[in-house]
C-alpha cells in the first residue's frame, strides 16, 4: 500500500474506539500510508487537553459494563493508551489530525491551544469531504 492515502473520520470519543483507531493508524503508518484523521463531534471532545489523558472522562462505545475489564486487559497486555498510539504514529509517518471547527466549539474548544499537542489544525467539514473523495481507504469510527 505504499504511497496510498487513508482518510479516517473519528466521530467517536469512547476509549475502546479511540484505541481501535490508534491501532489502525499504527498499522497504516507501518504500511507507509499517508493518513488524514478528521476529528468529529465526540472525537473532538476526547482531543481536548483536559479530557485526552483522563481515562475516567471517556466512556465505552458499547457495553459500558465492560469498561473496567477492557482497561484492565489493556494494562495487563501493555497496550498503549490511544493518545500514545496517535502521537507515535505522527512521529514515524505522515499523519495529520484535523479538528472539525464546529465539533470543537460544541465542546468548548475554540483554538489550537485547547486541544492535544499532536492536533495539526482546525478545519471546516468541506476539507474532510474532499479528503474522503481522494482517499484510497476511507474509514468512519
- The structure's pTM equals 0.92
| DSSP secondary structure string for all residues of 16-72 | HHHHHHHHHHHHHHHTT-EEEEEE-HHHHHHTBHHHHT-GGG---SS-GGGHHHHHH
Average of per-residue pLDDT values in the chain? 93
Q: What is the pLDDT of residues 38-66, one digit of tens each?
A: 999 999 999 999 998 887 788 877 777 88
In the chain, the domains with their CATH numbers are 5-140 (3.40.1260.10)
Q: Look at residues 6, 29, 15 and name the one whose alpha carbon lies nearest to residue 87.
A: 29
Amino acid at each position: 500500500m505504499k504511497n496510498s492515502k487513508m482518510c479516517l473520520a473519528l466521530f467517536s470519543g469512547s476509549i475502546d474506539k479511540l484505541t481501535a483507531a490508534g491501532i489502525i493508524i499504527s498499522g497504516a503508518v507501518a504500511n507507509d500510508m499517508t493518513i488524514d484523521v478528521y476529528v468529529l463531534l465526540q472525537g473532538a471532545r476526547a482531543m481536548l487537553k483536559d479530557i485526552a489523558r483522563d481515562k475516567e472522562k471517556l466512556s465505552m462505545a458499547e457495553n459500558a459494563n465492560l469498561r473496567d475489564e477492557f482497561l484492565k486487559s489493556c494494562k495487563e497486555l501493555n497496550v498503549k493508551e490511544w493518545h500514545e498510539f496517535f502521537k507515535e504514529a505522527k512521529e514515524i509517518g505522515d499523519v495529520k489530525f484535523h479538528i472539525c471547527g464546529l465539533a470543537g466549539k460544541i465542546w468548548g474548544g475554540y483554538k489550537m491551544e485547547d486541544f492535544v499537542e499532536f492536533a495539526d489544525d482546525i478545519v471546516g467539514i468541506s476539507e474532510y469531504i474532499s479528503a474522503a473523495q481522494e482517499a484510497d481507504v476511507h474509514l468512519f469510527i
